[in-house]
Structure formats: C-alpha cells, structure tokens
Amino acid sequence: MMLPLMISMLLSSAGSCPPEEKAAPSPSSIAQPNDSVPALLEKAERVTESLEEWTRPALYRTENDLTGDSVLRTGWISWRQPSGKVTVGLLLEWEVVDRARRKKPKDFVLEGPFLWEVEHEGKLRIKRRLATDDSATTLGALGRGPLPLPIGMSADAVLAKFTVIESTRPETGVLRKIEDEGVRYLRFTPREKTPAAEQMDHAIVAYMPDGLPRGVRVERINGDIREGRFDPIQDGQSPPVDLDERMDPANAPSKGWTVQESE
C-alpha cells in the first residue's frame, strides 16, 4: 500500500516523545532523481508496507476563491497501520487568521471508508461515509475530504484514476518553503468520470526521497485551495498527549458530546 493524500500542518505541544517509526526504508527504496513517475509511485507504495506509524507536525491552509479568505492552521498529521488497518489523522490545534492566533482544536480522521470530523469547541463528532469505490486512504477519496494524501494506494490504482506527470515546487502557498534536498513533485489530474474529477482540478504532491509525503496542494474545480506541509519534528516538539484518543474518535468519551452519522 502506498500512503494517500492527505492530508499540513506546526505546533507547540508538550507531551510524550515522538512515536518511533518502524522499518526505515532500505537504500534500494530511496527515490532517485532519474526515477520514472511509475517507479516513484511504486517506491511510495512499498515504503508504507512495513511502516506501522508516522507522525509529523502539520501546517494546513485553506483558501476560498469566492471570498478570497485564507485560513492557516497548525497541528499534526499521523498515519497508523497496526495489523494492516490504516488510520490517517489530521489533528489541528491552532488557527491563524490575519495574524491573529487562537486555540481551536479540530480533527479529521480517516479510517476505511469513513471520515470523522471532530469539532472540539462545540463538542461535535460527525461521521461520514466517503464514496464506496475508493478507500478512505486514497487520493480520490481524500480529494473529497480535507486533503488528498499519497499513502495507502497502489501505484497501479493511482495511475488508473489519475494522469500523473513530473512537476515543480509551487511558487505560492505553504509548499513554496520546502527546501529539503531530493524532494520530487508530481502533478495528479483526475481522469474523466472518476469520483475525484467531480471536485478536484489537480493536486501537487511533494515526495521525500524515501517515498513519504512532504506536502500536498489541491486545487479544486471551484477555485478553492487546500494544502498541507508535513515538517520534520524539531527539538522540543512532541505530539499531543491525547494523540491516541483523538486518532480513535469512535471510542472517545461521548459524555456531553453530540455524535452525528451522515451517509
């Protein structure tokens, strides 16, 4: 499995030590500058086969084309695959609007075909089923969620649903500040009559040399933009102490909360 979209997002939160990442990729799995697009997608697929856990600070930005409003949020992204069960969480902590910064926790958690949206401020959990023809951890399904993320989808499945070509680092948005050596950028355009084509014009995904995502920028048909950057963990940073609880919204405490399910 190759990790999807999804899912960008830098936070200051005291807590436990960063989760250990299992099974570092072998030299043969590191993407090379001369790799073809299919070869890079295959390496991105293989790198997650034995990866049980991956957590990074995340910077997440949305832009409304109609109003011109832009919102920047910071938090964490986490990928988990215990016993082959994939869960991807975008756990946001702070919201920044016009340089004003305030605490506003909000989570997006994808598990199987379900997307949980958790509003901590209003104590509201909403469970939605994504399109049945896509796993929740695919570019297609996540293209309709908060982010498309290139983990959890096979290279063949990607190429069947998207036209994928080499691209360059975007000159605007949160991806423009990526300076890591060896990062590759691919452009994903949904093929006609696929679910992603209903909403997404295209996505630019930045891949690290080991095949894991460094960031993603999604431009929707209506002109809206959703983008995320996943940064290395710095000294003094650690994931939220309630990371495990937030990654499992179905079993989180429900007293005082409203839980809704929407098909």
Is the pLDDT at 227 greater than 60? The verdict is: yes
**Residue 180 sits in which domain range?**
3-262
Mean pLDDT of 33-49: 84
What phi and psi, each to the nearest 5 degrees, are found at residue 158?
Answer: -60, -50
**Half-sphere exposure of residue 176: CA atoms within 13 angstroms, side-chain side:** 6
**216 sits in which H/E element:** strand 213-220
pLDDT for 9 equals: 26
pLDDT for 32 equals: 52
% of residues, the chain, pLDDT over 70: 79
Residue 180 is encoded by which pair of tokens?
């890591």
Q: If DSSP codes are grouped into helix, strand and coil, which group holds residue 157? A: helix
Residue 224 is encoded by which pair of tokens?
């809206």
Mean pLDDT of 244-263: 88
Is the pLDDT at 5 greater than 60? The verdict is: no
In the chain, the number of structural domains is 1
The span from the CA of 67 to the CA of 111, in Å, is 32
The span from the CA of 72 to the CA of 50, in Å, is 33
Is the pLDDT at 117 greater than 80? The verdict is: yes
pLDDT for 138 equals: 63
CA angle 92, 58, 150 (to 5 degrees): 110
Residue 4 is encoded by which pair of tokens?
């999807």
**Residue bearing tokens 């949904």:** 190
The span from the CA of 64 to the CA of 86, in Å, is 30
More confident residue, 85 or 31: 85
Would you say the C-alpha torsion 162, 48, 93, 128 has a positive or negative sign?
Answer: positive
How sure is the predictor about 25, in pLDDT bands with cuts at 50, 70 and 90? very low
CATH assignment of the domain containing 135: 2.50.20.10
Mean pLDDT of 194-214: 90
Kindly report the pTM of this predicted structure: 0.81
The span from the CA of 263 to the CA of 256, in Å, is 23
Average pLDDT for the chain: 81
The span from the CA of 32 to the CA of 224, in Å, is 33
% of residues, the chain, pLDDT over 90: 47
Please give the span between the terminal C-alpha atoms of the chain, in angstroms, as a whole number: 26
pLDDT for 253 equals: 83
pLDDT digits (tens, 9 = 90+) for 149-181: 666 678 888 898 899 999 999 999 999 999 998
